[in-house]
Amino acid sequence: MPQYDLHILCPNCGNFHDALIRVALDESFDVRRVSDIYQQGIPLEFYQAIDQIRCSKTDRRVEQKMPELMVLVAIGRWSKPEPRNMPKK
């Protein structure tokens, strides 16, 4: 089953930030808006993950509640491992 990373368009800097949440879906695609996939409602865990994101350029919390500005991206396509994203040993 294909897996996807959630990315959020940041209102602070205008770039996408990785929400560090991964989902598996039956469909296969490169990038799609969350609002197109979850038409009946966005999973609560997406909003919970977004609440934890800080903009790397402004160091401000990312506040994004609009599902059309959230995308699911095929794993590894946009995400690059960074030391702050890696699990602690």
For residue 87, tell me if it sits in a domain. no
What letter does residue 31 receive in the DSSP assignment?
E
Would you place residue 75 in the very low, low, confident or very high pLDDT band (cuts 50, 70, 90)?
A: confident
- Whole-structure pTM value: 0.80
3-61 pLDDT tens trace: 999 999 999 999 999 998 999 999 899 999 999 999 898 999 999 998 889 998 999 99
Which residues form the domain of 61? 3-79
For residue 89, tell me if it sits in a domain. no
For residue 86, tell me if it sits in a domain. no
Tally of structural domains, the chain? 1
Q: What is the pLDDT of residue 64?
A: 82
Residue 81 reports pLDDT greater than 80:
no
**Helix or strand (DSSP H, E) at 32:** strand 31-33
